[in-house]
Amino acid sequence: MRMPTGASELKLPPASFDSGCATGVKGVIADARAFQTARRSKWIDRAKSARRSIFGITGAVASSGSKSESETDDDARSSSRADDSDEEAFLQQWRESRRRELETEASRAVRSRRTSPSVRVYGRLDDVDALGYLDAIEKVGRETKVVVFVSDHECDVSSTIESALLPLVRENPSIHFVKVHYDDIEFDPAAVPSLLAYRNQGDLFANLTGIIEMMPDDESFGSDSLKSILRAHNVL
């Protein structure tokens, strides 16, 4: 019995490179690795079985004498053809198993997409740190707007902006509003409070760092005033 070697043995990157991947280049490499592992395991099992058979009939072989050279050559050729046939059968079996596995995964993904809402609902002002700020603007659907309120809890103007913002948060549940302390993201304290609006997973499209200057002087600043400012910048 022989195990295919040489050109048939694929040179693959470390397993960590494609761990958990099912699509793209890494998915192809993961498939190749799975096939190579399965084939190697199959040949190891066959080798163990052959060893048990050989050791079990050692006495019989010794008593029967040695075969002729032509008989040995015929046996080698027969073994080679059997190995090739077995490998082809194994390849077909593995392909069929892999096809069923991928169909099952695809079916699960379709069911997940159908049961998940197309638009996520928020309706709250989430307190986040620096990492949460990055996750909020990047780990969302491309159609989701994210408004970041950069605040200073010791600043009265920040409190005024937050009070005006909260009703708008509830009125616009499809927009994700988050609040972060300026020091967490190393924001210029002179520009606080500020509102930053993102879309397309991290594209800043409205930079309201001068929102204090946008506040009207001749009237009390409230939700209606803030709504007008946000609408003027296509945030709402």
CA dihedral 59, 65, 66, 70 (to 10 degrees): -120
Q: In what helix (H) or strand (E) does residue 125 lie, and over which residues does it extend?
A: strand 125-128
Which structural domain range is residue 105 located in?
Answer: 6-115
CATH code, 129: 3.40.30.10
pLDDT value of position 78: 63
For residues 219 and 183, is the Cβ–Cβ distance under 8 A? no
Asked if pLDDT for residue 39 goes beyond 60, the answer is yes
Residues with Cβ within 8 Å of 162's Cβ and at least 6 positions away in sequence, in order, are 125, 149, 151, 179, 193
CA atoms within 13 A on the CB side of 181: 7
pLDDT in tens, 198-221: 999 889 999 998 788 887 776 678
What is the side-by-side order of every strand in the sheet holding 176-181? 125-128, 176-181, 146-151, 194-199, 203-208
Residue 34 pLDDT level (bands cut at 50, 70, 90): confident
Least confident of 17-31, 125-139, 181-195: 17-31
For residues 87 and 8, is the Cβ–Cβ distance under 8 A? no
**Entry pTM:** 0.51
More confident residue, 182 or 35: 182
- Does one domain contain both 211 and 170? yes
Q: How far is CA 101 from the centre of its chain?
A: 19
- Does one domain contain both 19 and 55? yes
Domain's final residue, options 63, 87, 115: 115
pLDDT in tens, 153-197: 888 889 989 999 999 999 999 999 999 999 999 999 888 999 999
Domain's final residue, options 75, 94, 115: 115
> What total of structural domains would you count in the chain?
2
Q: Output the CA–CA distances (angstroms, integers) from residue 94 to 36, 70, 86, 87, 98, in the order listed.
A: 10, 36, 12, 10, 6
Q: Is residue 214 part of a domain?
A: yes
Q: In what helix (H) or strand (E) does residue 207 lie, and over which residues does it extend?
A: strand 203-208
Q: Is residue 1 part of a domain?
A: no
- Does one domain contain both 100 and 80? yes
- Does one domain contain both 224 and 153? yes
Tokens of 211: 């929102």
Q: Output the CA–CA distances (angstroms, integers) from residue 203 to 24, 36, 213, in the order listed.
A: 26, 43, 24
DSSP notation for 147-158? EEEEE-TT-HHH
